[in-house]
Amino acid sequence: MATIQKRKKAWRVQVRRNGQTMSATFDTKAEAEGWAIITESKIIAGIAPEVILNEPTTTEEVTAADALRRYADEVSPNKRGGRWEKIRLEMLVRRFQLFDRLITSITGPDIADWRDTRLVSVSASTVNRELCLISSVFTHAMKEWRLGLTANPCSQVTKPRKPRARTQRVSVPERKKIVSQLGWDGESQPTSASHWVAFAFYLALETAMRKGEILSLSWSDIDFDARHAHLDMTKNGDERDVPLSKAATALLRIVETREPSARVVPIQAGHFDKLFREAKTAVGLSHIHFHDSRREAATTMAPKLSNVLELAAITGHKSLSMLQVYYKPKAADLAARLDA
């Protein structure tokens, strides 16, 4: 049996059948009536309650945890970083009681308290990423799910100050130590997962490609004649052709295959991270990140190019401020160029 009531500018509908109670809020009475008919028929047909709960529900029943889970199921899978988002959202639901509260009851001060608590155990960068994700959930819930939110509480909170950008570069002795620990000689066909990690590290140092970009490459993306690797989708959403130096080409020739659909580096990201982390730690270089190879490559390339736009075309950066994070020349090198 359905009960429909007018509440200010919205219509609230509640369905009671077979011991189950479902409710939702709509802009028009016609929408409320239609939802009631469909929901009642689902209950009669014996469809599981959790399936019915995927329908819009009233703000009187929806917790922030409900919204975070729904976002993970419906929105995150459509993003390139969907896997990371889903893991992060599940962690937030599991670890913080704040999100057990009704979504409409959470305020800016509540989010600020969560931020301060989180900063005790993780870096400002991590908190900023999580805060942006939570904000996206609230915005989506407000615009798309008719949950009655009038403001995003995250917008009322000051983000933690970003830490200084990393300046770490990767010297030749450091890269050799890591690659040696991974067991690859730099010349022969990789025969183990560790070898492939070493190969990818060297390729990153020659191309300034991100780890995810390298792992996404198929042989159909490599054009030896045009001397570039085509990236169909990058972190900023654009495609990019990465020029291949003679050194990068030589590396790729070592592992070249005739199968266009085959991955250039056939290893999963999770396993890749574990192997690189273990290798750098074993040789006393735990401060080195794989992503530092991008900074090293960009800094090494810069003196060989005529202007900053050429460097940006290689790295894919859209702004000078971001490119500056990755171009870190040594003062002594700049001094030598001034004397040239």
Position 80, amino acid:
R
Claim to verify: residue 188 and residue 234 sit in the same structural domain = yes
Helices 172-181 + 193-207 axis angle, to 10? 160
**161 is a domain residue:** no
Q: Is residue 162 part of a domain?
A: no
Note the pTM of the prediction, 2 decimals.
0.66
Judgement on whether residues 324 and 178 belong to the same structural domain of the protein: yes
Residue among 118, 280, 317, 327 flagged as catalytic:
317
Which of residues 156, 191, 214 is at a domain's end?
156
- Given a cut of 80, whether residue 11 has pLDDT beyond it is no
Half-sphere exposure of 112 toward its Cβ, with a 13 Å CA cutoff? 7
Domain boundary among 156, 187, 216: 156
The residue behind tokens 């005739």 is 258
Verify that 81 and 42 share a domain, yes or no.
no
Per-residue pLDDT at 55: 45
- Looking at the structure, do residues 185 and 330 belong to the same domain, yes or no? yes
Q: Which of 71, 202, 326, 327 is labelled catalytic? A: 326
Are residues 313 and 182 located together in one domain of the fold?
A: yes
224 with 312, same domain? yes
- Same domain, yes or no: 186 and 273: yes
Its domain, for residue 25, covers 2-52
- 86 catalytic, yes or no? no
267 and 316 belong to one structural domain: yes
179 and 310 part of one domain? yes
Q: Is residue 34 part of a domain?
A: yes
Residue 182 falls inside a structural domain: yes
9 given a catalytic annotation: no
How many domains does the chain contain in total? 3
Instruction: Identify whether residues 327 and 202 lie together within a single domain.
Output: yes
Q: Is residue 58 part of a domain?
A: no
Residues 150, 189, single domain; the answer is: no
**CA dist., res. 272 & res. 265, Å (int):** 10
Is 288 part of any domain?
A: yes
Q: Do 331 and 229 belong together in one domain?
A: yes
Tell whether the model's pLDDT for residue 303 goes beyond 90: no
The residue from 227, 235, 277, 289 that is catalytic is 235
In this structure, is residue 166 part of a structural domain? no
Taking only the tens place, the pLDDT of each residue in 16-52 is: 777 667 777 777 777 777 777 777 777 777 764 444 4
| Residue in 210, 211, 240, 295 annotated catalytic | 210
Distance separating alpha carbons of residues 44 and 208, to the nearest angstrom: 59
Task: Give the model confidence (pLDDT) of 211-249 as tens digits.
Answer: 999 999 999 999 999 999 998 877 766 789 999 999 999
pLDDT computed for residue 179 by the predictor? 96
pLDDT at 165: 79
Q: Is 327 a catalytic residue?
A: no
- Catalytic residue list contains 83: no
